[in-house]
Amino acid sequence: MVRFAAFLLLAMGAFSGAAEALVTDLSNRRIEIRYSFAGADLILFGAVGTTPINAQDETYDVVIVVRGPEAPAVIRRKDRVGGIWVNNETAAFPSAPGYYAVASSRPLEEIAAPTVFAAYGIGFNNLPLVAAGPRGLVAPDPHFRSALFRLRSEEGLYRQEQDNVSLVSEGLFRTDVHLPANVPVGEFIVETFIFQDGSLKARNRINLTVDKEGFERAAYTFAHHYPFLYGITAVLVALCAGWLAGISSRK
């Protein structure tokens, strides 16, 4: 239903505007994790263009959502059992974004009403997360849901209310996208929303690919697709390295 409404809006935007509607681009559309990868900072820039708003004299707001690939995640909680702290209760999320960042030109609550953001699924609290229960999917325990957000925020994987979209000049805006070193690989979606007077005026999406490249990619693929050969290789490498180290240290 939300998606249908969004689609309608998008279609209306496309019909009313000219060919040059909202455009965005990233300083780099393909991130390669190499051996020295310590995270990446990207610049996203965009132009409002000929959208329903007149960027020359009217004020507007920009909200940018970057979403990483969906993957299952399990949250475990430690409890004291017989004097020691043991992983006890768990909540399994069959699908949660591996990266999620929201940047905005003003604090979200000043841009539009919470219901508006809920309708477009903007913000972590509006993500449609479900947990696996004994009888199918259920709404997750709020403690576990907020733990997922907190843990991933600490890892730099979820970022909300941290990044600013700066409005450069008439109709131009930019923001920084921070990808930490532990960013998951896969397809990312970068969505840009233009708000005015508390309602959505335009939106678009572009893609971003994060991939392990070269040697690192090869090692990861090798380990996961040919685990037996990887194990044998690890042993042979260890034997050779150990033998060489022994020879060189005797000299």
Partner 1 sequence: MPLYLPIAELSMNVFVVLGMGGIVGFLSGVFGVGGGFLMTPLLIFAGVPPAVAVATQSNQITAASVSGALAHWRRGGVDAKMGAVLIVGGALGAFFGAQIFTYLRSLGQVDLMISLAYVVFLGSVGGLMFWESVRAIMWQRRGYVPPRKPREERHKAWIHALPFKMRFRKSHLFISALLPMAIGMFVGLLSAIMGVGGGFVMIPAMIYLLNMPTNVVIGTSLFQIIFVTALTTVFHSVNTQTVDIFLAVLLLPGAVIGAQIGARIGFKLKGEQMRALLALMVLLVCVKMGLGLVLEPRELYSVADIEELGGSH
Q: Which is nearer to partner 1, 159 or 203 (CB)?
A: 159
Q: Which of residues 100-139 bind partner 1 (CB under 8 A)?
A: none
Residue 38: strand, helix, or coil: coil
Q: What is the CB-side half-sphere exposure of residue 72 using CA atoms within 13 A?
A: 6
The H-or-E segment that residue 162 falls in is strand 158-169
152: contact with partner 1 by CB under 8 A: yes
CA distance linking residue 91 with residue 96, whole number of Å: 12
Which among 30, 103, 105, 65 has a CA at the least distance from the CA of 203? Answer: 65
Q: Which of 151, 168, 187, 205 binds partner 1 (CB under 8 A)?
A: 151
Binding status of residue 153 toward partner 1 by CB under 8 A: no
Q: List the structure tokens of 75.
A: 């949250």
Q: Smallest distance from the beta carbon of 238 to partner 1, in angstroms?
A: 4
233 contributes a contact to partner 1 by CB under 8 A: yes
Instruction: Looking at residues 166 to 225 of the shown chain, list those that interact with partner 1 (rule: CB under 8 A).
Output: 181-182, 184, 212, 216-217, 219-220, 223-225
Residue 58 CA to residue 248 CA, distance in Å, equals 73
* Structural contact between residues 103 and 164, judged by C-beta atoms closer than 8 angstroms: yes
Phi and psi, residue 160, nearest 5°: -145, 140
Point out which span in 27-35, 59-67, 99-107, 126-134 binds partner 1 (CB under 8 A). Answer: 27-35
Q: With respect to partner 1, which residue has the nearer C-beta, 33 or 165? A: 33
Nearest CA to 117 out of 41, 163, 39, 65 is that of: 65
- Does residue number 147 form part of the binding site for partner 1 (CB under 8 A)? yes
Residues that bind partner 1 (CB under 8 A): 33-38, 71-80, 83-87, 90, 98, 144, 147-148, 150-152, 181-182, 184, 212, 216-217, 219-220, 223-225, 227-228, 230-235, 237-239, 241-243, 245-247, 249-250
